[in-house]
Amino acid sequence: MAAPLRVLVTGAAGQIGYSLVHQIAKGDVFGPDQSLIMVLLDIPPMQAVLEGVAMELDDCALPLLKEVIPCTNEAEAFKDIDAAWLVGAMPRKEGMERKDLLAANVKIFKSQGASLHNAKPTCKVIVVGNPANTNALICSKYAAPHIPARNISAMTRLDHNRALAQVALRTKTQSKDVKNVIIWGNHSATQYPDVRHAKIQIGGEEKAVEAVINDEAYLHGEFISVIQKRGAAIIGKRKLSSAMSAAKASCDHIRDWFRGTKPGEWVSMAVPSDGSYGIPEGVVYSFPVTIENKEWKVVQGLSIDDFSRGKMDATLKELQGERDEALAACQ
């Protein structure tokens, strides 16, 4: 068996963390032959909860799990890590202003960016804590120079998976039959779920999703808004946020980053813009990407119609605004 990977989960005492650490530790991300050392970080008041989660992980008796380290010291937690899930973030409290929320998160992600100087240079980072794209930007701005900005990403895979699920429900197929949906932009209500290039396996043939659904009003309206508002709809039903599916999506994101995307398929991932599709550098924007040898590449050459351009620009504008507010809070 290969040498163990050292994996960090922050906010590990929270509800996403509770679902996430088990999925990672049982091999869903790095495969059935990769042993793991799992470092669980949270803030000092959560020490006892964290220890309880670590005890449960031990009790799962998982063959791949060499060691669990509950930890409240950030610098120690980042030491020699190969991968990090940055889940812990300041939640919006009642009466809290947006700029105060941003300022609190800037502080967390500035500090965690700096702590990455302890990580391996190949370390891959997914930011889940909201506002995820902007938190990732701040983290990379303060990251040690040996960690390339392209190693720090944010999650839009949950939105991507939600789009696969909605197409599957509408066409009475399964998510596995649908591929190449795209989430453009921010992980927020301005995100743009796009099926213009998506394909579906149906009746023994691969067809364009647009042609199979054949309802532009739905695809330009209800489809987009259902995905944009899915998180709120789940809170409405469960009275808790969608932690299980968020944990699963973050595992999909890191699994594909380490093990590659399937031939002919892309996934949505928020990465530092390289200028593709006219999205200026300086924002962490969700694009369709393919991944090979642990390197992502934005899929090139997709046609963008006027409808898409309008949506892509709107979510860009929001991200630029968030970035400017976050940078102002860094002063």
Do the beta carbons of residue 272 and residue 150 sit within 8 Å? yes
Instruction: Tell me: does residue 129 bind ligand NDP (CB under 6 A).
Output: yes
Supply the minimum distance, in Å, between the C-beta of residue 185 and ligand NDP. 15
Q: Which range binds ligand NDP by CB under 6 A, 23-31, 42-50, 168-176, 301-309?
A: 42-50
Supply the minimum distance, in Å, between the C-beta of residue 209 and ligand NDP. 24
Do the beta carbons of residue 230 and residue 242 sit within 8 Å? yes
Instruction: Tell me: does residue 14 bind ligand NDP (CB under 6 A).
Output: yes
- Compute how many other C-beta atoms are within 10 angstroms of the C-beta atom of residue 15: 16
Q: d(Cα 171, Cα 6) in Å, to the nearest integer?
A: 41
Please tell me whether residue 146 adopts helix, strand or coil conformation: coil
Contacts 24+ apart (CB under 8 A), 287-290: 287/182, 287/184, 288/180, 288/182, 288/197, 289/261, 290/261, 290/265, 290/266
Among 37, 46, 123, 137, binds ligand NDP (CB under 6 A): 46
**Residue in the shown chain whose Cβ atom is closest to ligand NDP:** 14
- The amino acid present at 36, given as its one-letter code, is L
260 forms bridges with which residues in the sheet?
none
Instruction: Tell me: does residue 113 bind ligand NDP (CB under 6 A).
Output: no
Instruction: Tell me: does residue 231 bind ligand NDP (CB under 6 A).
Output: yes
285 forms bridges with which residues in the sheet?
271
Q: Using the 8-state DSSP alphabet, how is residue 304 labeled? A: -
Among 24, 29, 40, 89, binds ligand NDP (CB under 6 A): 89
The 3-class SS string of 229-278 reads CHHHHHHHHHCCCCHHHHHHHHHHHHHHHHHCCCCCCCEEEEEECCCHHH
Instruction: Tell me: does residue 37 bind ligand NDP (CB under 6 A).
Output: no
Question: Is 253 labeled as catalytic in the residue annotation?
Answer: no
Would you give the binding string for ligand NDP spanning residues 246-285, x where CB under 6 A is met? x---------------------------------------
Supply the minimum distance, in Å, between the C-beta of residue 301 and ligand NDP. 31
Sheet holding 205-208, edge to edge: 178-179, 199-202, 205-208
Instruction: Tell me: does residue 186 bind ligand NDP (CB under 6 A).
Output: no
Instruction: Tell me: does residue 327 bind ligand NDP (CB under 6 A).
Output: no
Q: Which of 160, 187, 197, 253 is catalytic?
A: 187
Q: Which range binds ligand NDP by CB under 6 A, 37-45, 51-59, 270-278, 308-316?
A: 37-45
Supply the minimum distance, in Å, between the C-beta of residue 67 and ligand NDP. 19
**What amino acid positions are annotated as catalytic residues?**
187
Residue ranges in contact with ligand NDP by CB under 6 A = 10-11, 13-17, 41-43, 46, 87-92, 108, 128-130, 158, 231, 241-243, 246
